[in-house]
Structures are given as C-alpha cells and as structure tokens.
C-alpha cells in the first residue's frame, strides 16, 4: 500500500555505488542502462555536464581497456537543472559485439560511466525476471515462507481463523478510523498465506489478483520456470481462500486506526512479532495480531466488477497453464472463474479496491471484465469447454465499450486493458482486432510524444506517482504491439523506457533493486530494514514531485538509512521532481508486488 502514513525502510547496500558527484565544472556524469543493451538495438547514453560539451569525445572500452568504438558527443540539449546545464546524447548503436564495457569521455569535459553489457536479450532480461520472482517468494506471508530470503519466518498464523468485519468508515483528511470499534459480521475463515502487498503487511485481493495474472501470463508466454510456476500457484491458492462461494473478500488487515484501534501502519516490526502478541479483544493492538477481513460484497449481492474481472482472469489463467499437467485443478479453477465472473456487478457505483479506496483509486472496470471473459474463453478452448464462443463474444462487447470510454491506459494496476486486448486479439479478426491494436497503441503515441520532449527520453511524468511501474507498463504495450503486428515503430521508444528505469535517468539509479551497479540501499520494506537483508528484484516507485518529500516518515524502531540522514542524489533533482533513497521516503522508495509483477511481465516478454 502506498500512502504517506507509511514509512518503510531498509539498511543495505546491494550494488550500491555512491552516486557520481562532480566538483570540477569540467567533469561530467554519464548515465547508461546499467544492465545493458541488446546487440542490434539503438543504444544511447547521456552526458550531464555543468558547462558546454561542445568538442567532447568519447570512446567505449572493453574489460581489457581496448577501444571498441569511439565518437563525438551530440549537441547539448537544454539544461536539466541549475547545476547540470548541458545534457548530451552519446550514440552507442554501433557497439554490437557481446561484452562488458565502459564509456570514457574526454576533451572539453571528462568522465567515466558505470559498467554495462551488450548481450542477447534473453541473457540480459531473463535474470531480471528471475530476480522479480525471488522478490515474490520473499514477500510470502503465512507458514510457507523461504527462510533463505530476508531471514523470513512464518508469520500471521492467526489468519487461519480470521474474523470478518463490516467495511471500516475512514476520514482520509484526518487519516483516522471513525468507527470506535470494528463491527464483526462473520468468520472464522482461513486467509493465511498470500503475499505482503508492499513494505507493510496488509494483503489485498485487488493487488494480489493483478500480480497473479501477470505471473501467470509470464508463466504461460515465457520460459515457465519452476520458481515462477510456484509463485503463481501461491497467489492463486490465496485468492481461492478469499472467495467463499458467496462472498469475495477484499482485504486482510487494516492500516488506518484511532486511539482505540492500532493498526498495521502504527508499528514497525518483523511480521512474526505479531504472532507473539497477547492481545485480547478490546485491547488497542488486538487487530495487529488478529487481523480483520473485509468483504467486497454482501452475501448474495453482486461483486465490484473490477475485482470480479481480475480475479476471474487469475483463475482462468490458472486453468490454462494447468490444462495439460493437472486437469483436475484446471477444471476446478475454470469452475471458480466462471462462478465469480457471473457474479460481477454490471452497473456499479463506487468500485471496491481497498479500505480506504484512496490506497488504490480506480475508475475503470470494463477492461477487467474484458480480461476475465477473454481468459475464460482461452481456458475453455484449452479444456474443450463449449462455452468458449459465448465468452469470446462477451469479451468483444466489453472491449468495444472500453474503447468507446474515456479510459486510456498502458498496463498497470488501475488499467488491465493492454493485457486484455493482447489476448482477445488472438481470438478475433477483422475490424475489431484492428480496433484492439489501435487501442494498445493509443497510450504509446501519447507517451512517445512525452519522451520526445524529455532529455532522458522517459515517456512518463517525473512528478506523478508510480512513474517506474508506468514505464514498465508502456514497455508491455510496446511489446504486445510488436508481437501482434510486427510493427517496429516503437522499438527505439521501448529501449529508451527500459534504459530509463535501469539507470539512464538523471539520478543514475536502477529502480530495480540489485540490478546494475547503483540501485537503492534504503528501500521502504520493514523486513529488509530490520534484518539488514536485500529485497533483490523488488521495484520501487522512483522519482516523484518534490512536495511529497517535505515531511519524511519515521518510527522509533526503524533503523536509520542512510545512517547520516543525507541525500547524495540531491544535486540531480530537477524540473520539480526529486528522488530520495531514504528510510522515510515512501514516495520514491517503497516496493510493491504490483510494481514488481509489471516489471516481471515486461522483462519476460522482452526476453522472448
């Protein structure tokens, strides 16, 4: 969950070189994709200098110090900030031989880049996807955890007998629970397991179903490693617990409390510490150990269609990947998927995502039902179910309504249309197939226009939330467009977006922890902070508007990170944006499963 009330931090140093500072106006910093470039793609690096780069030259040297290529810096573009007044492009496209390289700049300005690789796409991105899967394994809750990751221990075993409560009433301006006490309506139910949503310990059907869908798509369309299959199965198994045949439950735990109800966001601890509490009903910490479950619908009533659609898609995708090796599981998940899909509300009021909904605001739901119906149709085909044509027709109807709506999004938590369109396009032909492709391209055109104006070719805003996962979403859109059509129009744009998230940005930071030479040391993650371990493969929000850093979050038990409280990246902030690798910087450094699953799918598709 991403909200200013949370302060999530870790003290570690994975691939964490100090950011390159510049005290001499004749020196520069050089920003590259620290993971590397595929051999035949367009390759760019960026010079950030304090004065004109006119006359600057560069050479690319291999591990032996031999020159692999050389060239001149491009003409300086406009300044990035008051200190770095000249940004120039270095065109490395002529570098195609596999190997490890650095860039050395000489002439009017001097500098050396971090190391990067040139390699086959599968070699470059397969390891990144595997690291993303590893992060999911480290996020597991319940008894089935991996003690080799982040020193994890079994946690929240009381979730095996959780009580169900009415949705809470919350005043977001005061950030306070209005109910003196939660109102119990049922239970116990078993909701043990699943994944922590982010750096805190809440669990949401909304984000878990989205992440599970992406893991299953990566399993179905990628290499399908055993580790990936195990995590996808883990997600589906927890979603099965959240559906009781009449009610879809939306959330485990609560993050907003009051003087009488302390919550997950009021304490900084290891998750297993919650199991040690002695907290009878009525005591303030009762709901930290005995976590409340909140339903998305009342018994017998329709389900919010955004949740119904994406949960349907998760079970239907599970049916697809299990159709051959575990037919009984596949048939059962097709049954569950169709059951939930049939309960979707087709005339919803406010959509249910989380409590409070401001954690994950969403207005789009036609895309969710399109995704659910599409995956049902594909599952029915895989299992020889006669309902495939009917579900295909329904998916077409939802898609048409979505395209006619005001919604426009690349792949992301609040919009699943790209994934839905890509799969539905394989079931239809003619004008509607072309309509689906055009809708996938729509956000790409907008983002490409933004990238054309940006010094580092980012297609997202630096001053809005979720810039990094939005970038991975754009990558997914571009990859689907190319797969469906063979169109190479967005190839260079695609490479630029990947470069930006992996280090070719003003701060020179890879926003995937552990990827490249310089990634986050102080990610917002309680377990990693308190154990000193590294959440390898996790993806963070990235830069954000400077106003979100005016007041950082703290907890008495939080380990300070960085130790001196400083900000070595401050000199690279610009254009109203800021990036802060700091314990309390929830706005830039919090990790999340939906961030990471979007990156996982993007890397999987790129590695094919």
What pLDDT band is residue 552 in, cutting at 50, 70 and 90?
Answer: confident
Q: Reply yes or no on whether the pLDDT at 608 is more than 90.
A: no
For residue 446 the two structure tokens come to 């907008």
How far is residue 434's CA from residue 487's CA, in Å, rounded to a whole number? 13
pLDDT given at position 12: 28
Residue for token pair 């371990």: 533
Per-residue pLDDT tens digits for 92-116: 999 999 999 999 999 989 999 999 9
**Least confident among 301-310, 380-389, 406-415, 591-600:** 406-415
Within 8 A by CB and 6+ apart from 450, the residues are 458, 459, 460, 461
Percent of the chain at pLDDT exceeding 70: 96
The per-residue pLDDT of the chain, averaged, comes to 94
Within 8 A by CB and 6+ apart from 95, the residues are 37, 43, 60, 68, 69, 101, 118
- The CA distances from residue 367 to 316, 421, 439, 463, 587, in Å, are 16, 9, 12, 26, 28
What's the DSSP call for residue 574? B
How far is residue 175's CA from residue 258's CA, in Å, rounded to a whole number? 9
Q: Reply yes or no on whether the pLDDT at 186 is more than 90.
A: yes
Pairing state of beta strands 203-204 and 249-252? antiparallel
Give the pLDDT mean for 261-270: 96
pLDDT given at position 25: 54
What pLDDT band is residue 404 in, cutting at 50, 70 and 90?
Answer: very high
What pLDDT band is residue 240 in, cutting at 50, 70 and 90?
Answer: very high
Single pTM value for the model: 0.95
3-state secondary structure of 312: helix
Tell me which residue of 7, 57, 8 sits closest to 28, measured CA to CA: 57
How far is residue 123's CA from residue 576's CA, in Å, rounded to a whole number? 37
pLDDT given at position 524: 86
Per-residue pLDDT tens digits for 191-234: 999 999 999 999 999 999 999 999 999 999 997 899 999 999 99
Per-residue pLDDT tens digits for 415-458: 999 999 999 999 999 999 999 999 999 999 999 999 999 999 99
For residue 268 the two structure tokens come to 């900084």
Percent of the chain at pLDDT exceeding 90: 89
For residue 180 the two structure tokens come to 């003196």
pLDDT given at position 554: 85
Q: Are the C-beta atoms of 174 and 167 separated by less than 8 Å? A: no
Per-residue pLDDT tens digits for 124-177: 999 999 999 999 999 999 999 999 999 999 999 999 999 999 999 999 999 999
Residue for token pair 């509490």: 277
What pLDDT band is residue 461 in, cutting at 50, 70 and 90?
Answer: very high
pLDDT given at position 19: 52
Question: In b/e form, how buried is each residue of 156-168, taking b as 16+ CB within 10 angstroms?
Answer: bebbeebbbbbbb
Alpha helix (H) residue ranges in 454-606:
467-485, 491-501, 526-531, 586-589, 593-606
What's the DSSP call for residue 511? S
- The CA distances from residue 2 to 210, 256, 297, 573, in Å, are 16, 13, 24, 22
Within 8 A by CB and 6+ apart from 75, the residues are 54, 88
Per-residue pLDDT tens digits for 1-45: 554 433 322 222 334 444 544 444 567 999 999 999 999 999 999
What's the DSSP call for residue 336? H
What pLDDT band is residue 258 in, cutting at 50, 70 and 90?
Answer: very high
**Which domains, ranges and CATH numbers included, belong to the chain?**
28-113 (2.60.40.10), 122-500+594-606 (1.50.10.10)
């Amino acid at each position: 969950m991403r909200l200013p009330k949370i302060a999530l931090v870790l003290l570690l140093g994975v691939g964490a070189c100090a950011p390159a500072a510049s005290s001499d106006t004749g020196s520069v910093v050089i920003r590259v994709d620290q993971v590397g470039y595929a051999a035949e793609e367009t390759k760019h690096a960026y010079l950030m200098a304090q004065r004109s780069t006119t006359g600057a030259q560069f050479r690319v040297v291999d591990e032996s110090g031999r020159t692999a290529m050389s060239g001149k810096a491009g003409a300086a573009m406009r300044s990035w900030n008051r200190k770095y007044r000249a940004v120039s492009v270095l065109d490395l496209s002529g570098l195609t031989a596999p190997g490890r390289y650095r860039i050395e700049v000489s002439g009017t300005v001097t500098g050396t880049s971090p190391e990067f690789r040139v390699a086959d796409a599968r070699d470059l991105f397969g390891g990144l996807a595997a690291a993303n899967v590893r992060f999911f394994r480290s996020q597991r809750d319940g008894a089935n955890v991996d003690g080799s990751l982040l020193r994890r221990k079994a946690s929240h075993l009381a979730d095996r007998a959780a009580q169900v409560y009415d949705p809470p009433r919350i005043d977001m301006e005061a950030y306070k629970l209005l109910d003196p006490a939660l109102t119990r309506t049922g239970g116990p139910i078993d909701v043990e397991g699943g994944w922590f949503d982010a750096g805190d310990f809440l669990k949401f059907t909304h984000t878990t179903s989205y992440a599970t869908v992406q893991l299953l798509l990566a399993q179905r369309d990628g290499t399908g490693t055993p580790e990936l299959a195990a995590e996808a199965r883990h997600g589906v198994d927890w979603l099965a617990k959240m559906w009781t045949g009449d009610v879809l439950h939306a959330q485990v735990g609560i993050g907003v409390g009051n003087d009488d109800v302390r919550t997950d966001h009021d304490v900084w601890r290891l998750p297993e510490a919650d199991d040690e509490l002695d907290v009878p009903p009525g005591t303030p910490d009762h709901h930290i150990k005995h976590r409340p479950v909140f339903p998305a619908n009342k018994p017998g009533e329709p389900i919010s269609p955004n949740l119904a659609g994406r949960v349907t898609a998760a079970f239907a995708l599970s049916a697809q990947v299990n159709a051959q090796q575990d037919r009984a599981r596949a048939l059962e998940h097709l049954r569950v998927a169709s059951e939930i899909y049939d309960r979707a509300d087709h005339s919803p009021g406010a959509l249910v995502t989380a409590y409070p909904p401001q954690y994950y605001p969403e207005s789009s739901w036609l895309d969710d039902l399109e995704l659910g119906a599409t995956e049902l149709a594909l599952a029915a085909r895989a299992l020889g179910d006669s309902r495939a044509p009917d579900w295909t027709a329904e998916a077409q109807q939802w898609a048409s309504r979505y395209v006619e709506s005001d919604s426009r999004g690349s792949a992301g938590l609040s919009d699943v249309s790209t994934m839905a369109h890509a799969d539905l396009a394989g079931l239809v032909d003619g004008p509607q197939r072309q309509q689906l492709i055009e809708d996938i391209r729509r956000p790409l055109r907008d983002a490409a226009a933004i990238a054309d104006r940006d010094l580092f070719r980012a297609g997202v805003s630096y001053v809005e939330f979720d810039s990094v996962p939005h970038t991975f979403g754009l990558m997914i859109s571009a990859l689907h467009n190319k797969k469906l059509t063979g169109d190479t129009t967005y190839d260079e744009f695609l490479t630029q977006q990947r470069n930006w998230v992996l280090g070719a940005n003003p701060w020179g930071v890879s926003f995937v922890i552990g990827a490249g030479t310089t990634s986050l040391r102080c990610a917002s993650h309680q377990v990693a902070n308190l154990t000193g371990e590294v959440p390898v493969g996790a993806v963070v929000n990235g830069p954000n508007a400077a106003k979100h850093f005016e007041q950082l979050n703290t907890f008495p038990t939080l380990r300070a990170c960085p130790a001196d409280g400083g900000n070595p990246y401050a000199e690279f902030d610009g254009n109203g944006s800021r990036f802060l690798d700091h314990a309390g910087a929830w706005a830039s450094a919090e990790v999340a499963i939906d961030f990471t699953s979007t990156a996982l799918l993007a890397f999987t598709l790129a590695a094919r």
